[in-house]
C-alpha cells in the first residue's frame, strides 16, 4: 500500500490561480466478523484509487466575490463495497452486514463554491457538487451491477446560505442543504428520495465570546439516511423496505468563550 500526490500550481496575473493534481490513495483490506458470513466473505482486499483533478480559484480585487471550481476523475480498483444480505429467506436472524470488493469503480464530476459579499454586513455563499459514479464489471450473486450508480453517491448536492452580521455583534444565518436521491446498497435497488433541509442560527458575539441559538431541520422533514430490504414479518417473511431515519427538527444553544 502506497499513496501520494503531485500538484502543479500556477498563479495568474489577477487574484487567482490554477492547478492540476494527480494522486494515488488506498483503503486497507481486512476481515469481516460474523458466524453466518457467506463463503468467501471473511476477508476483503485493499482498494486503490487514482484521481486526476483540475482546479481554478479566483477573487475580485475588492474581495467581494470569490469562487473556486474543480473537475475530477477517479478510477477505483478492487472497490470496497458495504453489503447487506439475508442469507435465508425466512430467517431474519440470517441478515448480515459485511464488506466485499467490486471489480472496479469510476467516479467523475465537478464541485465548487461561491462567496459574495455585496455589503460588509451581508454574505451569500453557495457550495455544490455534481457527481457521476459507476460500478465496472461487478456482479453480486445473480445481480449484474455493471454500469449502475454506486451506493450513497447522489448526483448533486448543495448548500446555499445567507448571513447577516451587524457591527455590534448580532448575526443571523439561514442555510438550505439539498441532496439528490441515491441507492442505499449494492444488494438491492431501494433508494433514498431527494431532500432539502433548512437550518437556522442567530446570536450575538463579542471580542472573546459567542452565544447563539440554532435550529436544525427547521420544518421537521422526515428523510432516510440508510435503507435495507429483507424479510422480517412472519409467517411469510416477505422482503420489505426498512430505513434508518435522519435527525428530526432539533434546537439548542451554544455559548463559547476564548481565553487569550
Q: In the prediction, which pLDDT does 6 show?
A: 98
CA–CA gap between residue 85 and residue 128 (Å, rounded): 33
pLDDT band at 201 (very low <50, low <70, confident <90, very high): very high
Determine how β-strand 195-205 pairs with β-strand 170-179.
Answer: antiparallel
| pLDDT band per the 50, 70, 90 thresholds, residue 38 | confident
Is residue 91 over pLDDT 90? no
C-alpha cell at 12: 495568474
What is the pLDDT at residue 36? 84
Please give the pLDDT value at position 15.
Answer: 82
Share of the chain above pLDDT 90, in %: 78
Average pLDDT over residues 78-100: 90
216, pLDDT greater than 90:
yes
Contacts of 1 (CB under 8 A, 6+ apart): 26, 28, 46
CB 144 within 8 A of CB 160: no
Confidence of residue 89 (pLDDT cuts 50, 70, 90): confident
Amino acid at each position: 500500500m502506497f499513496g501520494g500526490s503531485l500538484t502543479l500550481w500556477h498563479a495568474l496575473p489577477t487574484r487567482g490561480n490554477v492547478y492540476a493534481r494527480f494522486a494515488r490513495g488506498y483503503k486497507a483490506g481486512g476481515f469481516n466478523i460474523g458466524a453466518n458470513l457467506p463463503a468467501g466473505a471473511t476477508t476483503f482486499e485493499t482498494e486503490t484509487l487514482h484521481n486526476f483533478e483540475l482546479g481554478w480559484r479566483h477573487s475580485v480585487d475588492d474581495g467581494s466575490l470569490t469562487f473556486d471550481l474543480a473537475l475530477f476523475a477517479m478510477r477505483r480498483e478492487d472497490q470496497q463495497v458495504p453489503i447487506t444480505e439475508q442469507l435465508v429467506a425466512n430467517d431474519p436472524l440470517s441478515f448480515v452486514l459485511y464488506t466485499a470488493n467490486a471489480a472496479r469503480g469510476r467516479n467523475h464530476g465537478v464541485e465548487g463554491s461561491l462567496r459574495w459579499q455585496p455589503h460588509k454586513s451581508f454574505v451569500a455563499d453557495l457550495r455544490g457538487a455534481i457527481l457521476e459514479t459507476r460500478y465496472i464489471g461487478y456482479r453480486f450473486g445473480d445481480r449484474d451491477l455493471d454500469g449502475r450508480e454506486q451506493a450513497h453517491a447522489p448526483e448533486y448536492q448543495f448548500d446555499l446560505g445567507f448571513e447577516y452580521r451587524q457591527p455590534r455583534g448580532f448575526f443571523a444565518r439561514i442555510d438550505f442543504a439539498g441532496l439528490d436521491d441515491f441507492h442505499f446498497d449494492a444488494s438491492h435497488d431501494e433508494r433514498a428520495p431527494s431532500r432539502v433541509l433548512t437550518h437556522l442560527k442567530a446570536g450575538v458575539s463579542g471580542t472573546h465570546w459567542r452565544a447563539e441559538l440554532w435550529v436544525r431541520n427547521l420544518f421537521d422533514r422526515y428523510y432516510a439516511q440508510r435503507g435495507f430490504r429483507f424479510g422480517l414479518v412472519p409467517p411469510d417473511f416477505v422482503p420489505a423496505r426498512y430505513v434508518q431515519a435522519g435527525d428530526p427538527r432539533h434546537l439548542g444553544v451554544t455559548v463559547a468563550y476564548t481565553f487569550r
